[in-house]
A and B are shown apart, each in its own frame.
Chain A
């Protein structure tokens, strides 16, 4: 039920508070907008933006009173402009167009809301994401559910099998971030018909946050119900999730850092929007990398890199080929996919991971990538991190480095070693519980800076200067 008048009045009081939080800082969550009291749940959490499919005036009022932004979620089917206007008049601050609407719909809705300050967020398929545009937020409703997938070697019962593979969106996020500074929202839902632990939710949050995006927090039906009735176990999981979210959101400066890596990966758009591709394969080896879409390939983008992998050789313009040629002439090592090698064909709307044929094709060059990067320290080397992913970032002057770590297993990891390029005098381990512990730095045999971490639970960061 929508009541416009009361909400407009309520909104008037909330506007100054809401206005202080720009869309790029909105921390989103899907929520049921019919229970005004439920807004209390978000007190003291980083969540400041609720995505609702229905709402009551009381709910919108209460959310505003708590300084929260509310956005209505509209899906394809009919013209979204009327319900969008209705929502804004009801006091909501924006609209989320979730799904693949006919082309031009978003512009049409923006026009319809031109007399308001409403924000229109598009959550499209990955294939249709408006990359490189001016939107403050870009998003997709698609994503892989982060977690460890054990790759069994069934053929050799008595032989040890390979390493665990981690399903992740981090490679995709890195690619999207390379297109511009827009905030990135991932709107995928928890898998249906699964029992999802708090730890898996923490991994979903961390997976996006570590790479510089935000997962639109979404709870499964059972968890929501338990949370609504204040079930202690659900509250404990909720607290853990919010602690992890707060950990990342309380360090917004990390989002402004750039990849601390001497390895550049040049990809075309199709490849870069899929999970499980070359970026995730390199990421699983904890080799820091910088993703470069071919449209953004410039001499500057390769500054400081010593190695480059070009998996889009047929898509390069002559000028871009010249850039890579100059890179090698300047001493850089370039690995190019073999002649005739072709990456992902045109991306369909339901494509988010590589299919088997594409994976087989990728294996053609993966061996060469591994051989080239090998044991080399291209920014950082991490040890005892098989169930983790990492992101190594640096300030523009390179004097501060942050190593973010996310643990996808259900168990804490002990005795992690991080070896970084460069010399740093101080190191601190920062954890979601708010602790900041000074670490002993040392010089490994290979040079650079080494630190040892005793234990990492859900996630952590090491800051060095």
Chain B
């Protein structure tokens, strides 16, 4: 992106829709050419630019939602998952190390592992991750698969303050409740349904398939889920398993491009995300995983971190070469509503680049166009 294009984007943004008075927070960007570079140093710089990690995590339980979309069996051209559509284990290890150094009491990595309610450690091993190394990265590292009840005794209801777009509340694994700090560690990617999948869309993966999955129970969760969340959440063909509350308006649109952005906006409203880390060192463009036709590996060479998920995703969307306030029907939101604006309307944060302070590398210098 040239400086002229950047100024044009900034100038045009307010014309699309006036940003409501949602909060914003600084977002830091760093260049990091490869996973062979000193990822820990890059990440440490980002955290320092956000005011330091210690004030956020010292003495606290930190829950980090990873992005490990889809079955680990599926690879793009045989590449390791971390250089395509999963967050990279090196970034995960670096995060644990820095959080441990900053005094975190417990660091719990979580993900709703695709198609299983088994231990997350097994899923990580199946993804080619070294669990022993991760565990040794800091004191108090643990793992939990949030696709079902996991180690908890019951699910926790997260009501959407002020009412949700689609559901009044969501039943999640206890790990999202029993924590002081919630972190979304995402990948810088497109998404077939939502246009982009960043720190907010990553939270769609907090939904347990035991309740919201294609083979979820009806009157009770299915604690051995084996499928994704297409029927209930993407397509609205049925309601989630009890005790989850049903949809507010079952006559609303069943289009995934309507539903998923609203669910995501609801989720980040209901379960606030305290820290966002976005892995854009290597990724894919054109979709969120190998099951999307036409995805291709890309190498943006950037890392982002922020303290407000809407602001962080707005900056990340701009880094991908898009207007974060783009309306439905324009790239990257060609077939969907804009999750960022929906979350902004919820009051979660501002997607207005003029109101977001970018620290470290300027957006214009970090831009990597995802559209060819």
Contact = CB atoms under 8 A, between A and B. Distances in A.
Contacts, number: 80
B126 A409 contact: no
B291 A160 contact: yes
Given A384-B72, A387-B78, 11 more contacts: A157-B192, A158-B193, A160-B228, A160-B289, A371-B224, A375-B122, A386-B126, A409-B75, A411-B78, A442-B132, A445-B121
A86 interface: no
A387 B192 contact: no
A386 B121 CA distance: 16
B114 A160 contact: yes
A411 B76 CA distance: 10
B71 interface: yes
A186 B291 CA distance: 35
A442 B289 CA distance: 34
Per DSSP, are chain A's interface residues mostly helix, strand or loop, or mixed? loop
B73 interface: yes
Contacts of B289: 160
Interface in A362-398: 371, 375, 383-384, 386-387
A228 interface: no
Most B CB contacts (10 A, CB to CB) among A156, A160, A386, A412 go to: A160
B230 A386 contact: no
A158 B122 contact: no
Given A160-B69, A164-B73, A415 B128 contact: yes
Nearest to B89: A415
Contacts of B70: 160
A164 B125 CA distance: 18
Interface string B105-122: 000000000110011011
B292 interface: yes
A349 to B, nearest CB: 35
Interface in B47-69: 69
Interface in A159-184: 159-164
B73 A158 contact: no
Contacts of A237: none
Given A384-B126, A452-B130, A410 B78 contact: yes
Contacts of B71: 160-163, 386
B267 to A, nearest CB: 17
A200 to B, nearest CB: 15
A156 B71 CA distance: 14
B126 A158 contact: no
A158 B78 contact: no
A326 interface: no
Contacts of B121: 445
A205 to B, nearest CB: 20
Interface string B304-322: 0000000000000000000
A414 B72 CA distance: 13
Nearest to B70: A160
A156 B115 CA distance: 14
A383 B125 CA distance: 5
Nearest to A150: B74
Nearest to B121: A445
A305 B127 CA distance: 30
A237 B26 CA distance: 55
A164 B76 CA distance: 13
Size class of A's contact patch?
Answer: 20 to 34
A153 B73 contact: no
Interface string B123-156: 0011111101000000000000000000000000
Interface of A: 153, 156-164, 371, 375, 383-384, 386-387, 409-417, 442, 445, 452
A156 B228 contact: yes
Contact of A158 (B125, B132, B292): B292
Size class of B's contact patch?
Answer: 35 or more
8 contacts: A158-B191, A158-B256, A160-B71, A160-B289, A162-B73, A384-B125, A384-B127, A415-B80
Contacts of B288: 158
Contact of B228 (A159, A164, A415, A417): A159
B62 to A, nearest CB: 22
Given A162-B71, A375-B122, A414-B80, A157 B292 contact: yes
Most A CB contacts (10 A, CB to CB) among B78, B234, B291 go to: B291
Nearest to B293: A157
A365 B78 CA distance: 33
Contacts of B77: 411
A153 B192 CA distance: 15
Given A153-B291, A160-B289, A163-B71, A412 B130 contact: no
B122 A163 contact: no
B232 to A, nearest CB: 12
Interface in B219-278: 224, 228-230, 234, 256
A283 to B, nearest CB: 15
A445 B78 CA distance: 29
A162 B129 CA distance: 20
A412 B77 CA distance: 10
Contacts of A387: 73, 75, 78
Nearest to A442: B132
Contact of B192 (A158, A386, A413, A415): A158
A391 to B, nearest CB: 19
Most A CB contacts (10 A, CB to CB) among B122, B230, B292 go to: B230
Contacts of A414: 80, 128
Given A158-B256, A162-B71, A387-B73, A415 B291 contact: no
Contacts of A410: 78
B230 A158 contact: yes
Given A163-B73, A164-B73, A414-B128, A156 B230 contact: yes
Nearest to A148: B73
A66 to B, nearest CB: 38
Nearest to A445: B121
B118 A386 contact: no
A403 to B, nearest CB: 15
A136 to B, nearest CB: 40
B137 to A, nearest CB: 16
A452 B71 CA distance: 21
Nearest to B77: A411
